[in-house]
Amino acid sequence: MKTMTDLAIYRNIGIFAHVDAGKTTTTERILKLTGKIHKTGEVHDGAATTDFMEQEQERGITIQSAATTCFWDDHRLNIIDTPGHVDFTVEVYRSLKVLDGGVGVFCGSGGVEPQSETNWRYANDSEVSRLIFVNKLDRIGADFYRVVDQVRNVLGANPLVMTLPIGTEDEFTGVVDILTQKAYIWDDSGLPENYEVTDIPADLVDDAAMYREQLIEAAVEMDDDVMMSYMEGEEPSLDDIKRCIREGTRKLHFFPTYCGSAFKNKGIQLVLNAVVDYLPSPTEVDPQDLTDEEGNPTGEKAVVSIEEPFRALAFKIMDDRFGALTFIRVYSGQIKKGDTILNSATGKTERVGRMVEMHADERNEIDRAQAGDIFACVGMKNVQTGHTLCSTSEPCTLEAMVFPEPVISIAVAPKDKAGTEKMGVAIGKMIAEDPSFRVETDEDSGETILKGMGELHLDIKVDILKRTYGVELDVGQPQVAYRETITSAIEDSYTHKKQSGGSGQFGKIDYKIMPGEPGSGYQFTSTVVGGNVPKEFFPAIEKGFRVMMEEGPLAGFPVLDVAIELNDGGFHAVDSSAIAFELAAKGAYRQSMPKASPQLIEPVMKVDVFAPEDNVGDVIGDLNRRRGMIKDQDSTPTGIRIKADVPLAEMFGYIGHLRTITSGRGQFSMEFSHYLPCPASVSEKVIVEEKERRAAKAN
């Protein structure tokens, strides 16, 4: 039985990078380097290597794995893949949740790009400790010092320079380690292990001494005792400095910054040493909150300990040739092969079948996992991304499965018959991987409707269907998810009577239909006194109204934010039944809703735009034309952040337009905020179009 002391040697890290900063190469080099130094066999005797390795070895390293385990300096590193694109905020947040620390990779010539800014912001929100690796210093135009300045000015972060480059561009040969004041110089073989440690080149001696002083001054701030003795002229020991750097990194006071070239295999070892030295282990980060179904913390935490009940999160589902792999991060307790666990999102139990760990280019079977571990499970049935897995005796939720309602839909149809089957299989897999993506089939027309969080979200899904699954599609125009509501209250009465030989049907209801609170959906209450309408019929009346809310009186869109109060009615001892009252409610809806001044409402998005200072006027003018309401403007070191509420209908094609007016530097993200009434001109047009669309379908 392993004890918990093991956890101090774990590092669960992610590699963040802007597209093209060299994330894949960096990850690959790390895996190659760690694999070379440690024979995985010694570290993990036990399960035999499985037999399908040959195909994998031919393909080289499976980088696309969601999590890979490797070893460095007797420490266990779990490297977790993080999405580069931030269009799927759900995914980025989830991968950040699973990490304990990270390495931010920046290109030596490109520096800090808008996308890396967004990623960095997310990591700050999630309070993830990071190192910085300035890569590609062998490139033309690469300048380490410029990128360090950008980190300071653009990201507003504090880079703690740990290494200096020796030589620039194609003359780049190695790095100076500031702490030990030694130079690491690589030969031209391209092999990472071919380096020698020498004295610092003469032209860098002064710079190295200056940066060392800066480094120590920043580090000693983390410990009052060390700081006092430093002020008195005593040089702190290496262990003290390292301990202080670790503390400052954990608290996000600064970010140790390294340089090198992943492609040329220079400087990677020092980054790996830094991961071990400065990034937190699972026990050093704040434990995850347990939440209720809606996502509000309950006050309990998933404490990283083996004694605790089992709690884990499925954070990624990947499909490969051997079936679905569910990647799981264990937060507390332990799990063994053959255990029965509970999926708290579905309320169903799952038996744990094959458990595997990904190593650089192979998969090892394991039979147990514990708090802090990351492993993959083969063939889980109903588990989706974001589901909490826990012990059957102590159910809990680590992440609420509350996904915002999709606000945009497109109709797609495969170009040929063969595509229909392919598409069905592909869509099933895509829903498991991304729960914010929904699919419906339109019964009348047989079209498949994809629904998602925004135009970009759906664009990428269509792209995946074409590229990954080879389904050629005809894609319709994007449709906005309009809704209807009412603006005035109405009191009314309705009687449903039917006499047809034998028993008839009778149900009479007096009711009030009122506009509800925004965001309340549909509410039903009753104030019936006495037994004019027996209680047992209330559910039928509630259901009758609820079913009808699917189609509004204006154009047939679902109805939101309506409250119905039942205040009186009448029944017949023989002829009244649940069905009679349900039909009475439906008739009442048809009779009264058109009289309650119905109105079309549209989804309004919370839009967050980043624009360079020079273009702010154009961006704001454009948002105003799109019927946007500017809420807030914030200056950042690199430009201005504009927050606005804009109707979704006006946001189509926005990214292209924004890039045009900001010469490619503008960025934006948007999420659904609320529904607001449509202006009359928009409303009329939408109603006419929708009625035409429905008429065309009916024919």
Separation CA 632–CA 637 (nearest Å): 17
Structure tokens at 155: 């990201």
State the pLDDT at residue 360.
Answer: 55
Q: Is the pLDDT of residue 385 over 60?
A: yes
Structure tokens at 670: 């948007």
Q: Is the pLDDT of residue 54 over 90?
A: no
Separation CA 660–CA 674 (nearest Å): 29
State the pLDDT at residue 515.
Answer: 92
Which residue from 262, 287, 216 is spatially nearest to 106, judged by alpha carbons? 262
State the pLDDT at residue 61.
Answer: 35
**Verdict on whether the full-model pTM lies above 0.75:** no
Q: Tens digits of per-residue pLDDT, 538-565?
A: 999 999 999 999 999 999 899 999 999 9
Q: What is the dihedral of CA 659, 663, 664, 670, to 10 degrees?
A: -40
Work out the burial of residue 388: count CB atoms within 10 Å of its CB; fewer than 13 is exposed, 13-18 middle, 19 or more buried: buried
Work out the burial of residue 188: count CB atoms within 10 Å of its CB; fewer than 13 is exposed, 13-18 middle, 19 or more buried: exposed
Question: Residue 45's pLDDT band (boundaries 50, 70, 90)?
Answer: very low
Q: Is the pLDDT of residue 124 over 90?
A: no
Q: Tens digits of per-residue pLDDT, 324-368?
A: 788 888 988 889 988 989 888 888 888 888 888 877 556 788 888
SS (H, E, C) 344-413: CCCCEEEECCCEEEEECCEEEEECEEECCCEEEEECCCCCCCCCEEECCCCCCECCCCCCCCCCEEEEEE
State the pLDDT at residue 624.
Answer: 94
Q: Tens digits of per-residue pLDDT, 639-651?
A: 788 999 999 889 8
Q: Tens digits of per-residue pLDDT, 564-620?
A: 999 989 888 888 888 999 999 999 999 999 999 999 999 898 888 888 888 899 999
Q: Tens digits of per-residue pLDDT, 429-446?
A: 788 777 778 888 776 666
Type of residue at 184: Y
Q: Tens digits of per-residue pLDDT, 167-191?
A: 888 888 899 999 999 999 988 887 8
State the pLDDT at residue 509.
Answer: 92
CA distances from 327 to 316, 376, 544 (A): 5, 4, 44
End-to-end CA distance of the chain: 70
Q: Across-strand partners of 323? A: 320
Tokens 């830094």 found at: 274
Question: Residue 90's pLDDT band (boundaries 50, 70, 90)?
Answer: low
Mean pLDDT of 473-495: 89
Separation CA 413–CA 123 (nearest Å): 39
DSSP assignments along 455-486, one per residue: HHHHHHHHHHHHHTT---EEE---EE--EEEE
Q: How many residues does the chain have?
A: 699
State the pLDDT at residue 517.
Answer: 86
State the pLDDT at residue 43.
Answer: 33
State the pLDDT at residue 49.
Answer: 34
The more confidently predicted of residues 88 and 493 is 493
CA distances from 140 to 108, 137, 161, 191, 308 (A): 9, 8, 22, 22, 53
DSSP assignments along 579-614, one per residue: HHHHHHHHHHHHHHGGGS-EEEEEEEEEEEEEE-GG
DSSP assignments along 530-549, one per residue: TTSS-GGGHHHHHHHHHHHT
